[in-house]
């Protein structure tokens, strides 16, 4: 009987395909491993250590080493902020990398869900839909209807059971009429998704580059798989989406595919169609959410390298702000449709 959750089957599959030698019962750490990182046991590192609600299988041990490629504005593993301390959540980071290793081992058809600006159709109202505080229709899980992808069950293809985000990664099992049966990676279940919302990704991809955005501690880290090890390439401050006005949205949690690169992403003044400025080296991963450099408000035109607000508190509309040179590092070295982005809490 086929499971309703892709990630539950990855453990069994990986046990037969992993070629890297398993050495311990926990996470493997190299000589340049993160400072103060405690190796969790299998018992501790279980469903309670999840990535934005993604169930993480203990399928493979992770070798994590620090080998930075981008050296500016680097944060320590634990660093002071105001009168407290902030840190990189290496338990969740390793969980994300373990999940990526699980996905790498699957010889399956992958697709990214796409509906930016409702280009593939405004989705129908989902079952048990409700209204957000901004008076926007959402499904019962809080995903807004605008730019969403409708997910149906086999029992009912007339009204969506729920939504998923533009940019989410799914495994495609088979096509049935105008639908494709897919397993999601952001939550449990198999769903029927109208095929027009799917962009098939090359099944030979190995997802060797990962970006992890931490909403809670307002930082960003990047990783590259080399051989059997994950190399930490950068550890930097970032600023995520706020929820203070009707025009702002929190950066969505979950697993996404980097979809698009824009040298200068122009944005409107709130509530108008008037260009208010641009964000440099923009890397889009979900709806209108980009990882980009410091915004430049008109009439200024020159790029701005850094802002003291980076790494402080959420303040963008949905995007993830970075130092402009770090955004360029991601723009240059993390290819579209080949890089994964995890947003954690």
Report how far residue 231's alpha carbon sits from residue 64's, in angstroms, rounded to the nearest whole number.
Answer: 6
Question: What's the pLDDT tens digit per position in 153-199?
Answer: 999 999 999 999 999 999 999 999 999 999 998 888 899 999 999 99
Lowest-pLDDT range of 43-57, 135-149, 154-168, 287-301: 43-57
Strand boundaries in 38-142, DSSP class E? 63-66, 78-81, 84-87, 109-113, 130-131, 137-138
Question: What's the confidence (pLDDT) of residue 187?
Answer: 87
Closest CA to 164 of 95, 249, 48, 252: 252
- Of the two residues 247 and 234, the one the predictor is more confident about is 234
User: Please, what CATH class does the domain formed by 109-201 belong to?
Assistant: mainly beta
CA-wise closest residue to 189 among 1, 55, 4, 2:
4
Give me the mean pLDDT over the 94-108 stretch: 86
pLDDT(78) > 60:
yes
Which pLDDT tens digit goes with each residue over 248-298?
Answer: 899 999 999 999 999 999 999 999 999 999 999 999 999 999 999 999 999
Lowest mean pLDDT among 5-9, 118-122, 263-267, 297-301: 5-9
pLDDT at 127 over 90: yes
The rounded distance, in Å, linking the Cα atoms of 167 and 180 is: 17
pTM: 0.86
Give the homologous superfamily in CATH for domain 241-344: L,D-transpeptidase catalytic domain-like (2.40.440.10)
- Domain spans of the chain, in order of start: 109-201, 241-344
The answer, yes or no, to whether residue 80 has pLDDT greater than 60, is yes
Residue-wise pLDDT for 218-227, tens only, equals 999 999 999 9
330 has pLDDT over 80: yes
pLDDT at 31: 46
Q: Please list, in sequence order, all residues whose beta carbon lies within 8 angstroms of the beta carbon of residue 44, skipping any fewer than 6 positions away.
A: none
């Amino acid at each position: 009987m086929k499971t309703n959750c892709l990630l539950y089957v990855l453990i069994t599959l990986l046990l037969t395909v992993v070629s890297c030698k398993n050495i311990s019962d926990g996470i493997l750490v190299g000589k340049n491993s993160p400072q103060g990182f405690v190796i969790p046991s299998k018992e501790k590192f279980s469903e309670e250590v999840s990535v934005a609600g993604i169930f993480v299988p203990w399928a493979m041990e992770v070798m994590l080493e620090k080998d930075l490629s981008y050296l500016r504005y680097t944060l320590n593993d634990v660093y002071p902020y105001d009168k407290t301390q902030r840190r990189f959540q290496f338990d969740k980071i390793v969980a994300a990398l373990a999940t990526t290793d699980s996905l790498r081992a699957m010889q399956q058809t992958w697709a990214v869900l796409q509906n930016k600006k409702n280009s593939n159709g405004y989705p129908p109202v989902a079952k048990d839909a409700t209204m957000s505080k901004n008076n926007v229709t959402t499904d019962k899980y809080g995903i807004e209807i605008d730019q969403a992808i409708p997910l149906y069950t086999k029992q009912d293809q007339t009204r969506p059971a729920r939504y998923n985000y533009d940019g989410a990664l799914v495994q495609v099992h088979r096509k049935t009429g105008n639908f494709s049966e897919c397993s999601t990676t952001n939550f449990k279940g198999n769903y029927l998704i109208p095929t027009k919302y799917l962009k098939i990704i090359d099944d030979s991809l190995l997802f060797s580059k990962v970006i992890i955005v931490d909403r809670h501690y307002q930082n960003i880290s990047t990783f590259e798989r080399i051989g059997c090890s994950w190399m930490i390439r950068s550890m930097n401050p970032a600023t995520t989406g706020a929820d203070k006005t009707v025009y702002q949205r929190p950066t969505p949690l979950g697993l996404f595919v980097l979809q698009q690169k824009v040298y200068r992403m122009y944005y409107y003044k709130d509530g108008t169609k008037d260009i208010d400025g641009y964000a440099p080296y923009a890397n889009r991963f979900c709806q209108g959410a980009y990882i980009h450099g410091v915004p430049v408000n008109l009439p200024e035109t020159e790029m701005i390298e850094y802002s003291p607000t980076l790494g402080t508190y959420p303040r963008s509309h949905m995007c993830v702000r970075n130092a402009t040179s770090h955004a360029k590092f991601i723009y240059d070295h993390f290819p579209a449709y080949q890089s994964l982005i995890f947003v954690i809490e």
